[in-house]
């Protein structure tokens, strides 16, 4: 009886995982050879929405989730500008060779996973799931970092604005912050926006005096 609950929990997770996989839009940048065909067939069997292209496109189709990319000596100089954006989909490199040039190319494009050639059906699903999870985790972390950076910048601007008000109006720090907050509430904007306006106005007045 003690083992029933863990099995039920595991089985209950399967439908949601499979449903997510079936919603993935996948582009395969690979020659139409045995590897490319097997990759297309296996991903379609999983339930992914698949489109295959070769050579790689200079720009990605809209709303892609995953790109399988053949990293070969004859294609490593394509540039892959689309791989440099923040909204880049999960990239899984398909490699035939394992040498410094290929490894450097895989790192340069920011691949989240590597699939060795010849492609086999075994291991494809695991590679897809782990690479996808890695991408989602990295993007979530990057988003949190951007929010923290924006928050820190906002705090600094509020502190700068308080110092300006304390100096120009001869008030204490608490009164300066209350004034910023009151203006923000009246104008229905953030305290950071009011702080920026105070700083900008102070810079204009300071320049005019010079």
Do 108 and 170 lie in one domain? The reply is no
In a domain, 11, yes or no: no
By CB atoms closer than 10 A (0-12, 13-18, 19+), residue 10 is exposed
- The boundaries of the domain holding residue 166 are 146-209
Average pLDDT, the chain: 85
Q: Which residues 6+ apart lie within 8 Å of 203 measured at CB?
A: none
Q: For position 123, what pLDDT does the model report?
A: 87
Q: For position 182, what pLDDT does the model report?
A: 93
Query: pLDDT, tens digit, for every residue of 33-69?
Result: 999 999 999 999 988 999 999 988 888 888 899 999 9
Do 129 and 33 lie in one domain? The reply is yes
Cα 47 to Cα 91: distance, rounded to the nearest angstrom = 18
Assess contact for 87 and 106: CB atoms under 8 A.
no
Question: Per this entry, what is the length of the chain?
Answer: 210
CATH of the domain at 109: 3.40.50.2300
Q: For position 2, what pLDDT does the model report?
A: 44
Do 61 and 93 lie in one domain? The reply is yes
In a domain, 199, yes or no: yes
Do 161 and 187 lie in one domain? The reply is yes
Number of domains in the chain: 2
Do 165 and 125 lie in one domain? The reply is no
In a domain, 8, yes or no: no
CATH of the domain at 153: 1.10.10.10
Q: For position 156, what pLDDT does the model report?
A: 94
According to the 3-state scheme, what is the secondary structure of the chain?
CCCHHHHHHHHHHHHHHHHHHHCCEEEEECCCCHHHHHHHHHHHHHCCEEEEECCCCCCCCCCCCEEEEEECCCCCCCCCHHHHCCCCCEEEEEECCCCHHHHHHHHHHCCCEEEECCCCCCCHHHHHHHHHHHHHHHHHHHHHHHHHHHHHHHHHHHHHHHHHHHHHHCCCHHHHHHHHHHHHHHHCCCHHHHHHHHHHHHHHHHHHHC
CA 52 to chain centre: 23
Q: Which residues 6+ apart lie within 8 Å of 143 measured at CB?
A: none
Do 42 and 65 lie in one domain? The reply is yes
User: Residues of the chain whose pLDDT is less than 50?
Assistant: 1-15
Q: For position 16, what pLDDT does the model report?
A: 54
Do 164 and 203 lie in one domain? The reply is yes
Of 113, 139, 165, which residue constitutes the final position of a domain? 139
**What are the structure tokens assigned to 35, written together?**
């590897």
Of 123, 139, 155, which residue constitutes the final position of a domain? 139
Of 119, 139, 159, which residue constitutes the final position of a domain? 139
In a domain, 114, yes or no: yes
Do 118 and 150 lie in one domain? The reply is no
């Amino acid at each position: 009886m003690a083992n029933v609950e863990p099995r039920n929990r595991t089985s209950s997770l399967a439908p949601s995982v499979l449903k997510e996989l079936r919603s993935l839009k996948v582009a395969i940048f690979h020659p139409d050879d045995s590897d490319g065909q097997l990759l297309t067939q296996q991903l379609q069997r999983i339930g992914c929405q698949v489109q295959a292209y070769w050579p790689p496109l200079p720009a990605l189709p809209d709303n892609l989730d995953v790109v399988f990319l053949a990293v070969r000596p004859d294609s490593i100089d394509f540039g892959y500008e689309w791989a440099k954006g923040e909204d880049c989909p999960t990239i899984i490199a398909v490699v035939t060779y394992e040498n410094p040039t290929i490894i450097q190319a895989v790192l340069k494009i920011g691949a989240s996973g590597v699939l060795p050639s010849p492609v086999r059906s075994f291991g494809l699903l695991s590679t897809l799931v782990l690479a996808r999870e890695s991408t989602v985790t990295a993007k979530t972390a990057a988003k949190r970092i951007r929010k923290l950076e924006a928050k820190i910048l906002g705090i600094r601007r509020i502190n700068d604005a308080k110092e300006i008000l304390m100096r120009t109006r001869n008030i204490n720090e608490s009164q300066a912050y209350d004034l910023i907050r009151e203006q923000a509430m009246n104008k229905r904007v953030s305290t950071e926006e009011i702080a920026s306006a105070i700083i900008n106005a102070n810079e204009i007045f300071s320049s005019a005096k010079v």
